[in-house]
């Protein structure tokens, strides 16, 4: 939409803003044309992302802790090959994720599921697609020693860090008073504290629900209305537009096998509860336009297709193309300010430091 | 050295600074004890690194060009797997290099030679260990399509970039007036322009030769003196303390086979001149303390050992351990301010963008 057209639409929307519907059957129409009503309706289901870092349970964040976390997050020497950092698959350049269906790990092994974004992950109720880690701290211990990811033997993480002399001082500053600060719990806490800073406030949608009616154009507003009316927001809601619950992939109709390969049983593997078979954590939709490909398989590269698949498998609906496009326009309004992270200078190895594996 | 000891040494050095030698046979002794004379002697062989970016021949740098270059340098989608960026092997976190003897490339292939640092590479007279690229612009085209590195087929680089819609505007701004800006020559120019900003001024040694006598302690001064007196500076000289010439590895005595495997013939492969067999570009020593492992094989992890090997193979000398330690102390004074680079947000793929290879 060019500026001129946008101004006309916005004026029209403001002119209509007084006509709020009072009965529920009029609600859909009214939402589409009045921004005040739409803002109020959206506030019932979503929350604007706060400015500033999120909070990880049990962690008191300090600048020193975050700085250490940024170093560890960026340090490929936490992997067996000294080549794969956390940041390799969760890159600030690529919306906190990577650019593949599944990531490449140690010795070019292919990961099992699409790398989820680290951005705003602090606002998820659990971590990983199957929620097997309760928070960022617990999550941070997983990929480092996962044999198909970073593949660092669990008993080598700390000796490796201790063999790089420059880390001693950085850990000491991040954990003042701790007599043996280079230990796994602290590594995980520092990474989690850093990740909690990786939030993306100020998306157009956030500005909209904070009251800036002009932050969304007409297509985005229609898409938001459609998103709520069709029931997408039943799962994708709250501050993270998702990340707060689990849902079976295929509530209304079975997804194609490519999108739901039978061998990956989802949360069932964690709970052994038959009800959780093929259930996955509902992913955040924040920054979704930056993080193709989609779904736990990463087999869908197109937001339009992702919306169409979701409508069919989760809601049993076949949406008209115009409505799909509107929802996609709305989803694009969930892209916030990307974190400004610098590449931290890492302490160098010495002749006695641990060496990478082949 | 603690602060107190350093102050005493410095005062002593200043007290001696008037006693400059006038005959050449007294020079060595005098250099060790007088900072003025040492500074003057060093200025004959070395130059302080300028503040601000270097200049790549034929490239007019602009902020827009550098910003594009930073994006391309950081974008793993320039590789076949969409996983390996330039920054993977030339990381700002690791002194502009990586943490391995040889880098891991496409499908976990091992590179042929140790990844040289990108830092201050703009001041090298040629690029790659064998000098096969005359400047950064020419160099930038190599690894992207090298089948054991990023492995992007040469004819797919531009279609891939064109398939990511957000790049159109960034290229247009970097190359104003260019009707078809997304082309290989421009990709290379932008990367080179960015790399030319990756300089590390303000090393203690730079401050010293600019006249700040206190910037080097006594061990560093002894090491500098030894470095010049033993002939190291015959090759490692100029603004980059190297990077300006080729030298046969093994001038005085043959290196062990592990350090000079016969199958890698060095610059001979480029020139076919028998005199260049086993010749390599003399690497810069700037930031050398950050970039272990050493030599084109990356088989030496220890600076002391690297100095000992060089003294023996290039100069035919067996240096006493104290002298080796002093030279290493001097080499550590070549670590400058590391570039403050942010991770650039990269334009996202869409449903029609090029897809990564397995």
Distance from CA of B75 to the nearest CA of A (A): 8
* CB atoms B348 and A95 under 8 Å: yes
What residues in A contact B88, CB-CB < 8 Å?
Answer: 83, 88
What residues in B contact A304, CB-CB < 8 Å?
Answer: 351
Residue A293 pLDDT more than 70?
yes
Residue A356 pLDDT more than 80?
yes
Residue A21 binned pLDDT confidence (cut-offs 50, 70, 90)? very low
Residue B50 pLDDT more than 50?
yes
- The larger pLDDT score, comparing residue B10 to residue B223, is at B223
Residue A309 structure tokens: 């698949």
CA B313/CA B303 separation, integer angstroms? 15
Instruction: Assess contact for A252 and A311: CB atoms under 8 A.
Output: no
Residue B342 binned pLDDT confidence (cut-offs 50, 70, 90)? confident
The lowest-confidence range among A126-130, A243-247, A273-277, B7-11 is: B7-11
CA A105/CA A110 separation, integer angstroms? 6
CA B136/CA B66 separation, integer angstroms? 13
Overall size of chain A counted in residues: 358
Q: Please check whether residue A82 touches B, CB under 8 A.
A: yes
Residue A29 pLDDT more than 70?
no
Instruction: Assess contact for A81 and B104: CB atoms under 8 A.
Output: yes
Residue B5 pLDDT more than 90?
no
Estimate to the nearest angstrom the gap between the alpha carbon of B103 and the chain centroid. Answer: 16
* Residue pointed to by tokens 């793993």: B76
Distance from CA of A171 to the nearest CA of B (A): 17
Q: Please check whether residue B107 touches A, CB under 8 A.
A: yes
B243-289, pLDDT tens digit by residue?
Answer: 999 999 999 999 999 999 999 999 999 999 999 999 999 999 999 99
Residue B38 binned pLDDT confidence (cut-offs 50, 70, 90)? very high
Task: Supply the pLDDT for residue B35.
Answer: 83
CA A32/CA A14 separation, integer angstroms? 12
Q: Which residues of B belong to the active site?
A: 149
Pairing mode of beta strands B279-281, A246-248: unpaired
Give residues 314 to 343 of B whose Cβ lies within 8 Å of A: 338, 340-343
CA A148/CA A47 separation, integer angstroms? 37
Residue B33 binned pLDDT confidence (cut-offs 50, 70, 90)? low
**Cis peptide bond upstream of A293, omega within 30:** yes
What residues in B contact A77, CB-CB < 8 Å?
Answer: 99
* Residue pointed to by tokens 């209304």: A252
A188-219, pLDDT tens digit by residue?
Answer: 999 999 999 999 999 999 999 999 999 999 99
- Closest residue in B to A74 (Cα) is B93
Question: Phi and psi for B198 in degrees, rounded to 5?
Answer: -90, 70
- Closest residue in A to B350 (Cα) is A302
Enclosing H/E stretch for A309: helix A303-315
Contacting residues for A164 by C-beta, under 8 A, at least 6 apart: A77, A347, A348, A349, A350, A353, A354
What residues in A contact B343, CB-CB < 8 Å?
Answer: 87, 91-93, 341-343
Task: Supply the pLDDT for residue A33.
Answer: 53
Give residues 211 to 250 of A whose Cβ lies within 8 Å of B: none
Q: Which residues of A belong to the active site?
A: 149
pTM of the model: 0.91
Task: Supply the pLDDT for residue B37.
Answer: 94
Task: Supply the pLDDT for residue A68.
Answer: 98
Task: Supply the pLDDT for residue A28.
Answer: 45
Residue A167 pLDDT more than 60?
yes
Instruction: Assess contact for B130 and B266: CB atoms under 8 A.
Output: yes
What residues in A contact B351, CB-CB < 8 Å?
Answer: 292, 301-305
What residues in A contact B303, CB-CB < 8 Å?
Answer: 351
Interface residue of B161, B298, B343 to substitute, partner A, most A CBs within 10 Å: B343
- Closest residue in B to A335 (Cα) is B348
Dihedral sign for Cα B341, B343, B345, B350, please: positive
* CB atoms B99 and A77 under 8 Å: yes
Instruction: Assess contact for A61 and A255: CB atoms under 8 A.
Output: no
Q: Which of A348, A351, A355 sits opposite B290 (nearest CB)?
A: A348
What residues in A contact B83, CB-CB < 8 Å?
Answer: 88, 98-100, 103-104
Task: Supply the pLDDT for residue B19.
Answer: 37
Task: Supply the pLDDT for residue A263.
Answer: 96
Contacting residues for A129 by C-beta, under 8 A, at least 6 apart: A113, A114, A116, A266, A280, A281, A283, A296
Residue B189 structure tokens: 């120019």
Residue B215 pLDDT more than 50?
yes
CA A324/CA A305 separation, integer angstroms? 9
Residue B32 binned pLDDT confidence (cut-offs 50, 70, 90)? very low
**Cis peptide bond upstream of B107, omega within 30:** no
Residue A19 pLDDT more than 50?
no
* Alpha helix positions (H), chain B: 3-16, 27-33, 35-45, 63-74, 86-89, 136-145, 157-162, 167-174, 184-195, 204-209, 218-229, 268-271, 303-315, 321-332
DSSP track, B310-358 = HHHHHH-----HHHHHHHHHHHHTT--PPP--B-PPPPPP-TTS-----
Instruction: Tell the burial category of B58 from Cβ atoms under 10 Å away from its Cβ (0-12, 13-18, 19+).
Output: exposed
Instruction: Assess contact for B349 and B165: CB atoms under 8 A.
Output: no
What residues in B contact A346, CB-CB < 8 Å?
Answer: 93-94
Q: Please check whether residue A100 touches B, CB under 8 A.
A: yes
Task: Supply the pLDDT for residue A342.
Answer: 85
Mapped onto helix, strand or coil, the DSSP state of residue A46 is strand
- Closest residue in A to B73 (Cα) is A93
Residue A56 structure tokens: 């990880």
* CB atoms B305 and A346 under 8 Å: no
Q: What average pLDDT does the segment A125-140 reach?
A: 97
What residues in B contact A81, CB-CB < 8 Å?
Answer: 100, 104
Q: Which of A100, A344, A356 sits opposite B99 (nearest CB)?
A: A356
Residue B179 structure tokens: 């009707």
Instruction: Assess contact for A122 and A96: CB atoms under 8 A.
Output: no
Q: Please check whether residue B166 touches A, CB under 8 A.
A: no
Q: Please check whether residue A94 touches B, CB under 8 A.
A: yes
Contacting residues for A234 by C-beta, under 8 A, at least 6 apart: none
Residue B341 binned pLDDT confidence (cut-offs 50, 70, 90)? confident
Query: What's the CA angle centered on A343, arms B90 and B159, to 5 degrees?
Result: 55
Instruction: Assess contact for A89 and A128: CB atoms under 8 A.
Output: no
Q: If you ran DSSP here, which 8-state letter would residue A187 be given?
A: H
Question: Phi and psi for A266 in degrees, rounded to 5?
Answer: 70, -140
Which residue, among A284, A194, A201, has the nearest Cα to A244 in the 3D structure? Answer: A284
Q: Which of B76, B104, B341 sits opposite A343 (nearest CB)?
A: B341
Instruction: Assess contact for B113 and B297: CB atoms under 8 A.
Output: yes
* Alpha helix positions (H), A25-79: 27-33, 35-45, 63-74
Count CA atoms within 13 Å of residue A95 on its CB side: 24
Distance from CA of B17 to the nearest CA of A (A): 35
Instruction: Kindly compute the dihedral angle of the four CA atoms of residues B269, B274, B279, B280, in this order, to the nearest 10 degrees.
Output: -30
E-assigned strands of A164-252? 246-248
Contacting residues for B332 by C-beta, under 8 A, at least 6 apart: B220, B289, B303
CA B249/CA B315 separation, integer angstroms? 11
Residue A27 binned pLDDT confidence (cut-offs 50, 70, 90)? very low
Distance from CA of B118 to the nearest CA of A (A): 14
**Cis peptide bond upstream of B351, omega within 30:** no
Distance from CA of B287 to the nearest CA of A (A): 10
Residue B16 pLDDT more than 60?
no
Give residues 273 to 292 of A whose Cβ lies within 8 Å of B: 289-292
Query: What's the CA angle centered on B60, arms B175 and B206, to 5 degrees?
Result: 135
* CB atoms A289 and B110 under 8 Å: no
Which residue, among B199, B201, B237, has the nearest Cα to B47 in the 3D structure? Answer: B237
Residue A63 pLDDT more than 50?
yes
CA A102/CA A298 separation, integer angstroms? 6
Residue B139 pLDDT more than 50?
yes
Estimate to the nearest angstrom the gap between the alpha carbon of A234 and the chain centroid. Answer: 18
Interface residue of A160, A295, A343, A354 to substitute, partner B, most B CBs within 10 Å: A343
Q: What average pLDDT does the segment A240-260 reach?
A: 98
Contacting residues for A24 by C-beta, under 8 A, at least 6 apart: none
CA A17/CA A33 separation, integer angstroms? 8
Task: Supply the pLDDT for residue A35.
Answer: 84
A-B contacts (CB, under 8 Å): 125
* CB atoms B91 and A343 under 8 Å: yes
B183-193, pLDDT tens digit by residue?
Answer: 999 999 999 99
């Amino acid at each position: 939409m060019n500026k001129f057209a946008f101004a006309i639409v916005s004026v029209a929307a403001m002119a209509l803003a007084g006509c709020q519907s009072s009965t529920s059957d009029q609600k859909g129409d009214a939402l589409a044309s009045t921004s005040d009503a739409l803002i109020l309706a959206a506030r019932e289901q979503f929350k604007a992302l706060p400015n500033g870092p999120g909070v990880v349970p049990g962690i008191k964040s300090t600048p020193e802790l975050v700085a250490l976390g940024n170093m560890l997050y960026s340090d490929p020497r936490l992997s067996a090959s000294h080549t794969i950092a956390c940041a390799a698959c969760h890159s600030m350049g690529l919306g906190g994720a990577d650019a593949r269906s599944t990531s490449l790990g140690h010795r070019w092994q292919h990961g099992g599921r699409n790398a989820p974004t680290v951005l705003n992950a602090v606002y998820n109720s659990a971590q990983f697609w199957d929620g097997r880690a309760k928070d960022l701290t617990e999550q941070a211990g997983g990929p480092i020693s996962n044999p198909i990811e970073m593949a660092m033997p669990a008993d080598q993480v700390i000796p490796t860090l201790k063999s790089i002399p420059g880390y001693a001082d950085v850990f000491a500053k991040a954990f003042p008073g701790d007599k043996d600060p280079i230990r796994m719990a602290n590594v995980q806490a520092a990474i989690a504290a850093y990740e909690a800073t990786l939030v993306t406030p100020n998306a157009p949608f956030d500005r909209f629900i904070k009251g800036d009616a002009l932050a969304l154009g007409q297509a985005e507003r229609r898409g938001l209305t459609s998103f709520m009316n069709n029931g997408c927001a039943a799962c994708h809601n709250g501050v993270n537009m998702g990340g707060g619950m689990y849902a079976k992939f295929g509530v209304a109709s079975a997804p194609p096998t490519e999108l739901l390969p039978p061998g990956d049983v989802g949360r069932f593997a964690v709970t052994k509860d038959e009800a959780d078979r093929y259930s996955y954590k509902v992913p955040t939709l924040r920054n979704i336009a930056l993080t193709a490909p989609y779904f736990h398989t990463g087999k869908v590269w197109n937001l339009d297709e992702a919306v169409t698949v979701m409508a069919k498998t989760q809601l049993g609906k076949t949406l008209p193309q115009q409505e799909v496009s509107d929802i996609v326009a709305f989803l694009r309004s969930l892209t916030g300010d990307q974190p400004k992270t610098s590449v931290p200078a890492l302490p160098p190895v010495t002749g006695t430091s641990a060496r990478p594996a082949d």
